[in-house]
Structure 1
Amino acid sequence: MTKPESSKKESNEETGTKSEPPDDPQTNPSPTTAKDLFADFAPDESDSSDDDSGKKSENYEPASKKPKDSSKKYIPKYKKEWESKPELKSWLSESIHGNTYFYCKFCKKDYRCGISDIHKHMSSKKHTLRATMPEFRAQKFKFRGLLCPVFTPFVAMKSVAPNVNLKAVPKYANFLSACGVRGILVNDVVGEGMSLTIRERIDIADAWADVCEKTNQFLMVQIGGAPLKDVVELAKHAAKREVGAVVVLPDLYTKPKNHLDLIKYVKLVSEFTRNVPILYHHYPRYTGVEIDIGAFLLDIIGEVDSFVGVIYSTNDIQQSMAAAAVNREKFTIFMGTDEGILGAAASGFTCIMGTSLNFLPKLVESICEAVREGNLKAAQTSQNLLIKTIDVVLKEGDSIAAFKAATDIITGTCGTTTREPLQTFWDGTIKKMQVKLRELGVM
C-alpha cells in the first residue's frame, strides 16, 4: 500500500533527505553560452594538477565543476600583464570561463586563478611533461596586403569533370607576382574547391606551395566544405607543407546553428593543423550560415590558440569593422568583396581579398595606393571603373564562370573551363565579353 503524499513528506523530514525534483527543461536548459558548451573541454578531476604530496589542490578543479559559494573570501582575478612574464608568456592565456580562471595552452585546460596558483601549476608534473613535448609555438599572423582567391585551371575538354591542369600554375603565379599580388588563396569558393576531389585539392596545394617558394608569395589553403574526415586529411597536409595559413568554411551539410557550434568545429580541425594559423571564411550568401562574428571572436579566445582571423565576404563594412574592433592584437579581418575595396581601404583595413585581383590587380592596387596617399578622387575613379568592369562581366552569366572567363581573356593564365555544375562559357559569349572589356579600356 502506498503512502499518501503527506506521509512521504513527513518521512523525508524525519530522515533528513530531500526528494529529487523531476527533470525540467526550464531548470536544465541546453548550453547557450561558451562556458556551458566548453564544459566538455574542461579538465576532469583526474587531470587536475597534483602537488608534491600527490593530493589534488582545490585550486585546480575544472571551471565547470567548481561549486558556487558567495560566502567565500576574495578570489584572485586574472591579470593580462601576467602573460608578459618570461616564464609564463609561452603558455598562459585568459580563460573562457571568466576572470577567476586561467587557461594553460600546454595542458589545454582551465584552472582557478591567482599568481601563486599559476606558479604551482607551472611546477606540476602534468604541466612539466607537456612543456617538454615538441615546442609549442603561438602563431602570429603577419600577412598584410592583397589576397587573391585563385581559380583552378582545368584542361580544356568536353567533360562534366575536366582534369586539373597543374602545368598552368607557374605562369599564373608569376603573372600575379609581377603585378604585386603577395597573397594567394587556393581551393576556396572561387577555386571551385568543393567540386574537387581530396586528391585534386592536395595536388593543387602542392603545386602552389612549390611555386610560391620561388615567387615568395604567402600561400593560404582553404580546407573546409567537405566531410570532416576529408577536412582532417587536408589539415594534416597543410601542416606538413607548412603553408602560411589555412582557411575554413563551415560544414556545408550539418551547418552550425550558432557561433558556439562553429567554435567547436574549428577546435576539432585545429587539432590537426598543428601550428598553422587558422582563419574562418564568413560567406553567408554562399554557405547559408549567418552567425554573430563578434560573439564568435570573443568566445574563441583561449579555445583555439592558432585561430587568427576572419575573411569577411559581405558588403557590410560596418559589421566587418565591428568584428575588427573585437581584438585587434589577436585577430586579422579581411574585407573580401570587390565592391567594397575603396570603403575597406578608407576604413583602415590592411588585408583585402578580391576576385578582381585575378584579372585587374593593378587597378585594385591603385585604389589602395590612392587612399594611402590621400587622393580620394583618384581612388573613386578607379573603384568606379572596377565596378563597371564587374557589371559587364557578371551580365554574361554565373559569377565564378564569368570572372574566370574575364581572367583568361585579359591574362591568358587560367583557361575558361569550369567543372559542373558550373557552366563553361561558349566561345560566342567569350568574344562578346572581350569586345566589351576592350570598350572599357581594361585590356
Structure 2
Amino acid sequence: MKTNWKGLIAAPHTPFAADGSLNLGVIEKQCEKLITDGVIGAFVCGSTGEGVSMSVAERKAVVARWIDVASGRLKVVVHVGHTSIADAAELAADAQAGGADGISALAPYYFKPASVGHLLDFLAPVASAAPELPFFYYHIPSMTGAALPMVSLLEQASERIPSFAGLKFTHNDLLEFAACLRFENGRYDIFWGSDECMLPALSVGAVGFVGSTYNYSAPLYQKLRAAFAASDLAEAMRLSDTVMDAVRALLRNPGLSSGKAIMEGMGIPVGAPRPPLRPLTTAQAEILVARLRELGAIG
C-alpha cells in the first residue's frame, strides 16, 4: 500500500494549557503554519506530540481536531502506538473512522519483542483495526529498545499486515536505511526521521521526511532539499551545517522541552511538556530562540 508521499511531514507538539489539560484551540495555528511552510503532512501524537503521556480519550480528541483543521490540505498520519494492543487497535479504528490518511505504531517498550516475528504479532491486530489506511512501523530503537533488523521486517510485513506501507525510520543507521529504501525496487515508503541528518539521507535517496523541527524550521529544510535537487552541493552543505548547528543548540536542553519553547517564542502557545519532562526556564528559552534566529533557522 505504498503512498509515494514526498516532502516534509511535521511531528507537531500537542498543546497543553497551564493546568496541563489539552488546549485544542492552538492546533489551527499550528496547522496553518505548516501549510504556509509547504509541509505536506502532520504525524500526530508521536514522540513530539507526547502521545504516550496522554490518555486514549485525549489522543482521540487531538486527532479529531487535526483532521478537522487540516481539512484535506495536509496528510494526517496518526501515531496509535501503545503498550496495549487493545488500546492501540481502538486508536487505529478511531483514526480510520475519523478520516485520517494513515496510521503508525512503534514497538511496545516495556515488554519488548525479541524478534521481528514477535513484533508482528503485536502490530498485526493493530493494523487490522484500520485496514483501509496505510500502516507505517515507527522504528525508534533509542526510545523503544527494539533494535530489530528492518529489512527483515520488510520481508515479512506484508504477509501479516496487508496494509503495510513502510517505515518512519528514526535511527542513524544510514546503511540500513538505504537498504530499506531499495528493498524490492522501492516497494515501501521509508521516511527519514533524524532531522539533523537530512543531507546524508538525501544522498542515499530519501524523498520523505518526518520530524519535529519542521514545525518551526521547515523553510530551512525546504531550501536544503532544493539545493540538493539542483546539484548545488556547496549550498546544500552550508544549509546542512546550519541545520546541525540549530539542532545542537536545541539539544543543550531536553529536545522536546526546547521544541515547545521555540514554538512559544514564535507566538504559538503549545505550553509546557507533561511530567516527568519540565519546561525550559525563561532565560534558557530566550537564549535558544535568539540563537535559532541568529542562525536563520526560524523567522
Instruction: Determine the C-alpha separation between the residues in 2 that align with 1:276 and 1:441.
Output: 37
State the structure with more CA Rg.
Answer: 1
**Long gaps (5+) in structure 1:** 1-138
> 2 CA distance for matches of 1:328 and 1:310?
15
Is 2:286 the partner of 1:428?
no
What is residue 292 of structure 1 aligned with on the other side? 149
1:349 offset after TM fit, Å?
1.1
User: 1:426 corresponds to which letter in structure 2?
Assistant: T
- 8 Å CA contact 1:315–1:339 kept in 2: the answer is no
Letter in 2 for 1:334: F
Residue identity matched to 1:203: A
Could you list the per-position Cα deviations for residues 118-168 of structure 1 after superposition, in whole angstroms to 9, with x for gaps in the alignment? xxxxxxxxxxxxxxxxxxxxx4424221111111011134xxxx0111000
Q: Using the alignment, how far apart are the partners of 1:379 and 1:308 within structure 2? A: 30
2:176 is the counterpart of 1:319: yes
Map 1:209-288 to 2 at 5 A. Answer: 209-213=67-71, 216-288=73-145
Work out the number of aligned pairs and report it. 298
Distance 1:383 1:403, change over 3 A: same
SS at match of 2:227: helix
> Is residue 2:4 matched to residue 1:148?
no
**Percent of aligned positions with the same letter in both sequences?**
26
Change (3 A) 1:321 1:268: same
Report what 1:198 is aligned to: 56
1:189 match: 47
Partner of 1:126: none
CA–CA distance in 1 between the matches of 2:28 and 2:78?
A: 17
Q: Structure 1: which 4+ aligned runs deviate by more than 3 Å?
A: none
* The one of 224, 245, 254 aligned to 1:398: 254
Counting only pairs closer than 5 Å after superposition, residues 38-187 of structure 1 correspond to structure 2 as 139-157=1-19, 162-187=20-45
> Could you tell me how far 1:330 is from its partner in structure 2?
3.0
Amino acid in structure 1 at the alignment position of 2:35: S
Further displaced range: 327-336 or 172-181: 327-336
Please name the residue that 1:440 is paired with.
295
- Separation in structure 2 between the aligned mates of residue 211 and residue 141 of structure 1, nearest angstrom: 22
**Secondary structure of 1:371 counterpart:** helix
TM-score of the superposition, structure 2-length normalised? Answer: 0.95
The answer to whether the 8 A contact 1:156-1:415 is kept is no
CA contact (8 A) 1:172 1:414 kept: no
What amino acid sits opposite 2:49 in the alignment? Answer: G
Between Structure 1 and Structure 2, the one with more helix by share is 2
Q: Deviations over 1:165-219 (max 9, x none)?
A: 10000111001100100111000011110000111100000000001115x1011
Preserved contact between residue 317 and residue 344 of structure 1 (Cα < 8 Å) = yes
User: In structure 1, what is the Cα distance between the partners aligned to 2:115 and 2:144?
Assistant: 14
Equivalent position SS for 2:160: coil
- 1:242 CA drift (Å): 2.8
Question: How far is the alpha carbon of 1:418 from its aligned partner?
Answer: 0.9
Conserved? CA contact 1:143–1:218, under 8 Å: no
Q: Deviation string for 1:394-428 (max 9, x for gaps)?
A: 11x1111112212332x322434111011111222
Scaled by the length of structure 1, what TM-score is found? 0.65
Looking at structure 1, the residues matched to 235 and 250 of structure 2 have their Cα atoms a distance apart, in angstroms, of 23
- SS for the counterpart of 1:324 is helix
Q: Which amino acid aligns with 2:43?
A: L
1:309 to 1:441, Cα distance in 2 relative to 1, 3 A: closer
Query: Cα distance, 1:329 vs. partner?
Result: 4.8
Q: Give structure 2 stretches of 5+ with no counterpart.
A: none
Q: 1:243 corresponds to which letter in structure 2? A: A
From the superposition, tell whether residues 414 and 247 of structure 1 become closer, same or farther in structure 2 (CA, over 3 Å).
farther
Q: Quick one: structure 1 residues 274 and 370, their matched pair in 2 at CA, closer, same or farther if it must change by over 3 Å?
A: same
**Counterpart residue number, 1:5:** none
CA distance in 2, matches of 1:329, 1:323: 8
